[in-house]
Structure 1
Amino acid sequence: MARRFIIFLIIISNGCLCADTMTVIRGGEQHLSSSNDFRKNPERSFEPEFDLDVVTNVTSLAGQTAYLTCRIKNLGNRTVSWVRHRDIHILTTGTYTYTSDQRFQALHRPLATGSGGKSWSEWTLCIKWVQERDSGIYECQLSTAPVTSHAFRLSVVVPMARILSGPDLYVDAGSTLNLTCVIELSPEPLEYIFWYYNQKVLNYDSPNSRKFVYTERENEVTTSRLLIKSTDQEDSGEYSCRPSNSKKASVRVHVLNGERLEAMQTGGAAVPVLSLLLIVLSSSSNGFS
């Protein structure tokens, strides 16, 4: 059955009320409503609206690609722009990029049409090789009047590696050297962790090796331990831990060849400290006059 719209105009003579009403006949049923409702209600007027269920707090690892996805219903002929909040810089409009930084790109994906003929679409801001300075607020803006926007927060995580007991470590010859490398702020498991000795990759896989590596992960912290048994002076030197997603961390190891000496760092060199034994004879405590 075809839809019919019958409009009645009601005017109060004293001018205090002037309203138009609309009778909509669908399938034999009558519905009375104000035409203003059609302009105000986005469900009826098919005004664009954001999907508020999408993730707006996005965390990305430095060096990887970050994706901010804005999902919109009933976009129609409006355009979508991505704006960086800190400098109000328009990065993209539609699928066109308006910045000289080629790491930014807009991706568009139409979605299936829902009930009532309402269509959905996704507009994603893609940031390649994301850097710490890219952290901040980004806005997905629609060319409505006035402009409407939906804010997204990007947090770029830069993993940090450090070796405990650095930058210099002193051990006795014949003891076990234990170096612990801690990699923090790593939301994803590491692809690898390499240990270096004097800029060369350590080989700890051979059957007769005195070197062993143990790696474990808990939450966003990864720990790698390098153990060297029965150390000697040839084991002295620089040791580095280099994870796949961060800069290396280094420590310099000093193996003391059987010397029972304390060492301290002075300008990066090990200086022995001699302990002097002072014997004080007290006449009062020993009975001397």
Structure 2
Amino acid sequence: MQAKPPPSKADADPAAHSQGGSHGRNTQKFIDHSNPGERRPIRRRHVLKDRRYRRDDEITLDTSMFLKESPYFEIPVQNVTARVGRTAKLTCVVENLGHFKVAWGYKVTGAVLTVATQVITKNTRISVQREQQSTWVLTISNVTMKDQGDYWCQVNTSPPRSISGYLSVVEPPVMEGGNEEVTITSGEVANLTCRARGTPTPTIRWIREDYDRIRINATYFASDYIGSSLLLRTVNHRSAAGYLCIASNGHPPSISRRVIVHVK
């Protein structure tokens, strides 16, 4: 009768067939690539506190590459435009965050503004809200021109993952000065001025209050004129009228100033 071969080690230890062993221990194996000539299995020994790295004897590996799911940005941070004095909100959506944290920062200065739901900056106009588990909203109230720039949303993976959005701050036109009434002798030059500020820089447009054409000089008439200064050369009694300077920059409301010209 043919003799039976001796039982294999696997047959002798049924727990070797199970992934967890008799005590539910993790026997997942990784390959050591530090020695190309030798491919020996490495058993997971222990995981560091931050769970990103594991250490086996003299070898340290970043285990994030083995994870089926790791943090990722669901959508880009949308650029935002806000008016001076209003509130701006930038939204960052991070899925599979796990034990990691989300931070907001201001790229212009490099300052960290918030970490998780905690506000780090001393700027009292900054706040952060977590919505629906995966959405982080940075809120800037009473926006000023100094708030304009890139804001980054970052996850503290190794290396960190970040994405940014831009806050544009606009300011509707504001009148800063100019004359309101001009008295000029016939045949002389009248200089009408109008100044306005805003972001973007406002455009100044002149029209006559009665919608008649503007007499720029003796031979040139125009329905309107663009520029902060309107020169009326060799004025005559027809030049006497009310003129409107209108400042606009694409962000309502436009504003106007009335200048009255008297001709002696």
TM (normalized to structure 2)?
0.52
Matching of residues 234-273 of structure 1 within 5 Å: 241=255, 250-256=257-263, 259=264
Match of 1:106 in 2: 128
Q: Distance in 2 between matches of 1:10 and 1:76?
A: 26
SS of equivalent residue, structure 2 residue 70: coil
Aligned to 2:205: 164
**Take 1:169 and 1:102, find their aligned partners in 2: how far apart are those partners?**
48
C-alpha separation in 2, matches of 1:173 and 1:9: 93
Partner of 2:161: 148
Note if 1:69 corresponds to 2:88. Answer: no
Are 2:105 and 1:83 aligned?
A: yes
In the TM superposition, what is the alpha-carbon distance from 1:123 to its structure 2 partner?
0.6
> Which residue identity does 2:109 align to in structure 1?
D
- Distance across 2 between alignment mates of 1:150 and 1:164: 41
Matched, 1:16 2:37: yes
Looking at structure 2, the residues matched to 159 and 61 of structure 1 have their Cα atoms a distance apart, in angstroms, of 8
Q: 1:17 to 1:172 in 2, by over 3 A?
A: farther
Query: What residue ranges of structure 1 are gaps of 5+ in the alignment?
Result: 22-35, 112-120, 194-221, 223-240, 242-248, 260-289
For residue 48 of structure 1, the aligned residue among 71, 77, 87 is: 71
Pairs within 5 Å for 1:103-252:
103-111=125-133, 121-160=134-173, 162=196, 163-165=204-206, 172=237, 177-186=242-251, 190=252, 241=255, 250-252=257-259
Determine what percentage of the aligned residue pairs are the same residue. Answer: 27
Per the alignment, residue 279 of structure 1 pairs with none
Post-superposition Cα deviations, 1:117-155, rounded to whole Å, max 9, x if no partner, equal: xxxx01111001111111112111212223222122211
Deviation of 1:8 (Å): 7.4
C-alpha distance after superposition, 1:44-75 (max 9, x if no partner): 1x211112x33432222221111111100111
Following TM superposition, by how much is the alpha carbon of 1:174 offset from its aligned partner in structure 2, in angstroms? 10
Task: Give the CA deviation at 1:9.
Answer: 8.4
**Given the superposition, is the C-alpha separation of residues 10 and 254 from structure 1 closer, same or farther in structure 2, using an over 3 Å criterion?**
closer
Matches within 5 A, 1:270-289: none
Q: CA distance change for structure 1 residues 8 and 71 in 2, over 3 Å: closer, same or farther? A: closer
1:102 aligned counterpart, secondary structure: coil
Looking at structure 2, the residues matched to 85 and 92 of structure 1 have their Cα atoms a distance apart, in angstroms, of 13
State the Cα deviation string for residues 78-105 of structure 1 (Å, max 9, x = none): 1111111122211111111122211100
SS of equivalent to 2:124: coil
C-alpha distance in structure 2 between counterparts of 1:9 and 1:149, whole Å: 29
In 1, Cα distance between equivalents of 2:129 and 2:159: 24
Amino acid at match of 2:89: Y
8 Å contact kept, 1:109–1:123: yes
Tell me the distance in 2 between the aligned counterparts of 1:10 and 1:73: 29
What's the TM-score once normalised by structure 1's chain length? 0.48
Number of residue pairs the alignment of both structures matches: 169
CA offsets per residue over residues 238-258 of structure 1, 9 Å max, x none? xxx3xxxxxxx64532233xx
Q: CA deviation at 1:107?
A: 1.1
Q: What SS does the corresponding residue of 2:146 show, helix, strand or coil?
A: helix
Contact kept, 8 Å, 2:143 with 2:169, in 1: the verdict is: yes
